[in-house]
Amino acid sequence: MDYFEYRDGVLCAEGVALPEIAERFGTPCYVYSAATIARHYRVFDEALAGIDHEICFAVKANGNIGVLGLLADLGSGFDIVSVGELERVITAGGDPAKIVFSGVGKRVDEIERALEVGIACFNVESEAELERLDAIAQRVGKTAPVSLRVNPDVDAQTHPYIATGLKENKFGVDIARAEALYARAAEMPGLMIRGVDCHIGSQLTQLAPFRDAVKRVLALIDRLAERDIVIDHLDVGGGLGIRYRDETPPSPAAYAENIRDLVADRDLKLVFEPGRVLVGNAGVLLTRVELLKPGQSEDDKHFAVVDAAMNDLLRPALYDGWHEIVAVAPRGDTQARAWEIVGPICETGDFLGHGRELALAANDLLAVRSAGAYGFTMASSYNARPRVAEIMVDGDIPHEVRARETVADLMRGEKRLPFV
Does 275 show up as a binding residue in the annotation? Answer: yes
**SS3 category, 382:** helix
DSSP 35: H
Does 330 show up as a binding residue in the annotation? Answer: no
Bridge partners, residue 391, by sequence:
31, 400
Distances (CA, A) of 224 to 67, 121, 272, 284, 296: 38, 19, 22, 46, 69
Q: CA triplet 399, 10, 304: central angle to 5 degrees? A: 95
Q: Measure CA 311 to chain center.
A: 17
Kindly report whether the peptide bond that precedes residue 294 is cis, defined as omega within 30 degrees of 0.
Answer: no
Does 273 show up as a binding residue in the annotation? Answer: yes
- DSSP letters, 9-29, are TEEEETTEEHHHHHHHH-SSE
Q: Are 4 and 328 in contact (CB under 8 A)?
A: no
Q: CA triplet 121, 124, 129: central angle to 5 degrees? A: 125
CB atoms within 10 A of CB 409: 13
Does 315 show up as a binding residue in the annotation? Answer: yes
Distances (CA, A) of 299 to 293, 296, 334, 354: 14, 8, 19, 14
CB atoms within 10 A of CB 167: 11
Question: In angstroms, rounded to a whole number, what is the distance separating the alpha carbons of residues 263 and 150?
Answer: 18
Does 201 show up as a binding residue in the annotation? Answer: no
Pairing of strands 389-394, 29-33: parallel
Active site residues: 346
Q: Using alpha carbons only, how large is the chain's radius of gyration in Å?
A: 23
Segments of 110-152 assigned E as strands: 121-124, 144-151
Q: Binding site, residues?
A: 239, 273-276, 315, 319, 347, 374
Q: Binding site for substrate, residues?
A: 276, 315, 319, 347, 374
Q: Binding site for pyridoxal 5'-phosphate, residues?
A: 239, 273-276, 374
